[in-house]
């Protein structure tokens, strides 16, 4: 849906959706294909870097110089970001917030970690972070208001979310309630009394990064027609990706999918029996299997195979050009309409 007032793209948080996400979270194992190791992102040269390390390096570089402070990560998962914050902010104290305490033993091993909250949070912090958690919240404005309420004097709010304008596959993530553009995120921040100091999609590709502080409410409504256009264009493109991949999967040799994250898993769900293997550059996933299909490194692909790269065309082209071998065909999606 697209809100007629603020233009925000969202899924309806009705009883069906709430039941679906409960079943997802009850059985959820973070980064299960890599045995809990954090997802990596790849530089243009193909070098893997843990995602939270890049984010934390950026955020810490923007903080006022402090020898000590308090930080809470709302939706902290198994503590990947907290561990990186701890390494760069010695002497700070750290808390986390999650739906359950299943990750508590791992969190307690982080230097400076104190409390895991699984209910209401009280206190004041120098940094409040929501890293890939706001998009999951059934009521994102209320969640952001609560986060702002935890900010102490001169404190920093840090929000990291997918950017629907450059990450079309985000629409497919069942438990992502809200799909933000920079404009709709800025509008939400204003309604939650956040003064925005930085909001760009350049720190990490396909993601929006916001740094802000407590401010006065500012109200403006983005154009809902812009949100409708993004949804229509994205859904049309996803249909074209399916059609393109189905044609590619008729290849007489082995057929594989590049990647074992959102887009790769979605495409596998549509093609299933046509897929004989996955390809991944993340060494923590190579050598594993998913539903009986092996996860191969690019160098392990059998000659004569075809690999479909379900990424935005420009990104897929860079991947295909970098990995192209004479005896393996890399196929890429069509261009998305502007």
Instruction: Write down the domain spans for the chain.
Output: 9-220, 226-331
Nearest to 279 by CA among 315, 237, 244, 329: 329
DSSP 3-state assignment of 255? strand
Q: Is 226-331 the same fold as 9-220?
A: yes
Residues forming a β-bridge with 117: 97
**What is the token pair recorded at 8?**
């925000």
Structure confidence at residue 34 (pLDDT): 45
- Band (pLDDT 50/70/90 cuts) for residue 43 is low
Structure confidence at residue 95 (pLDDT): 98
Structure confidence at residue 45 (pLDDT): 54
CATH number of 9-220: 3.40.50.150
Structure confidence at residue 282 (pLDDT): 86
Please write the tens of the pLDDT for every residue from 134-177: 999 999 999 999 999 999 989 999 999 999 999 999 999 999 99
Please write the tens of the pLDDT for every residue from 270-303: 999 999 999 998 888 999 999 999 999 999 999 9
Of all residues in the chain, what percent are helix, strand and coil, respectively (each to 5)?
Answer: 35, 25, 40
Structure confidence at residue 123 (pLDDT): 94
Structure confidence at residue 321 (pLDDT): 92
Average pLDDT over residues 261-272: 94
Residues forming a β-bridge with 93: 70
Q: Which residues contact 232 (CB under 8 A, 6 or more apart)?
A: none
Average pLDDT, the chain: 92
Inter-residue contact 33 to 39 (CB < 8 Å): no
Structure confidence at residue 266 (pLDDT): 95
CA distances for 237 relative to 231, 244, 310, angstroms:
10, 10, 11
The CATH class that applies to domain 226-331 reads alpha beta
Helix axes 80-88, 51-62, angle to 10 degrees: 40
Structure confidence at residue 46 (pLDDT): 56
User: CA-CA distance, 101 to 261, in Å (whole number)?
Assistant: 25
Given a cut of 90, is residue 35 above it in pLDDT?
A: no
Please write the tens of the pLDDT for every residue from 215-235: 998 888 899 999 999 999 999
Structure confidence at residue 101 (pLDDT): 93
User: CA-CA distance, 338 to 332, in Å (whole number)?
Assistant: 18
Q: Which residues contact 216 (CB under 8 A, 6 or more apart)?
A: 193, 195
CA 47 to chain centre: 19
């Amino acid at each position: 849906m697209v809100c007629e007032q603020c233009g925000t793209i969202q899924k309806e948080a009705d009883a069906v959706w709430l039941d679906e996400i409960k079943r997802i979270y009850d059985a959820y194992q973070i980064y299960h294909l890599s045995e809990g190791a954090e997802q990596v992102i790849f530089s243009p040269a193909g070098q893997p870097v843990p995602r939270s390390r890049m984010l934390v390096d950026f955020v810490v570089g923007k903080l006022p110089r402090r020898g000590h402070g308090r930080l809470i990560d709302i939706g902290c998962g198994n503590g990947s970001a907290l561990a990186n914050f701890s390494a760069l902010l010695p002497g700070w104290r750290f808390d986390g917030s999650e739906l359950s305490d299943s990750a508590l033993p791992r969190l307690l091993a982080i230097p400076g970690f104190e409390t895991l909250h699984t209910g209401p949070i009280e206190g004041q912090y120098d940094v409040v972070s929501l890293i890939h958690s706001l998009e999951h919240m059934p009521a994102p404005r209320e969640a952001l208001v609560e986060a702002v309420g935890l900010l102490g004097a001169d404190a920093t709010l840090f929000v990291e979310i997918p950017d629907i304008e450059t990450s079309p596959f985000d629409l497919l993530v069942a438990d992502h309630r809200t799909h933000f553009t920079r404009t709709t995120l800025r509008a939400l921040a204003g309604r939650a009394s956040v003064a925005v100091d930085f909001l760009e999609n350049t720190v990490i590709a396909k993601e929006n990064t916001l740094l802000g502080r407590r401010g006065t409410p500012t109200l403006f409504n983005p154009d809902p027609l812009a949100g409708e256009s993004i949804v229509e264009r994205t859904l049309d493109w996803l249909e074209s990706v399916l059609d393109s991949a189905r044609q590619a999967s008729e290849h007489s040799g082995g057929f594989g999918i590049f990647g074992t994250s959102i887009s790769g898993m979605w495409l596998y769900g549509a093609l299933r029996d046509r897929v004989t293997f996955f390809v991944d550059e993340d060494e923590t996933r190579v050598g594993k299997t998913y539903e009986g299909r092996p996860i191969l490194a690019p160098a392990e692909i059998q000659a004569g195979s075809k690999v479909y790269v379900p990424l935005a065309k420009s990104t897929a082209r860079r991947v295909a050009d970098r990995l192209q071998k004479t005896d393996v065909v890399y196929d890429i999606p069509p261009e998305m309409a502007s």
